[in-house]
Amino acid sequence: MKNKPDGPLSKKSTVVRDAEVYQRLLDIAARTDEEEGVRQGLEDAKKGKSRPIREFFAEFEAKRGISR
């Protein structure tokens, strides 16, 4: 179905505005995901579900055959 000349996509400014709104929503969602990730990480740390970074990298490098 084609848009009528007076339809929602008849003006470039509407398309640009819609793209800007969509990008803003994507930015908000990404920020929310980051905040939730930090919250979960802090909660895990409080519960003792963490390990030293050196231990992590030693395992990571060993699994991938990375040597220093």
Distance of alpha carbon 47 from alpha carbon 52, whole angstroms:
14
Element (H, E) at 60: helix 53-64
pLDDT in tens, 43-60: 999 999 999 999 999 999
- What's residue 52's pLDDT? 92
The model's pTM: 0.47
Q: What is the pLDDT of residues 2-37, one digit of tens each?
A: 555 555 555 666 666 788 888 898 899 889 999 998
Residue 19 is predicted with a pLDDT of 84
Alpha helix ranges (H) inside 3-52: 12-46
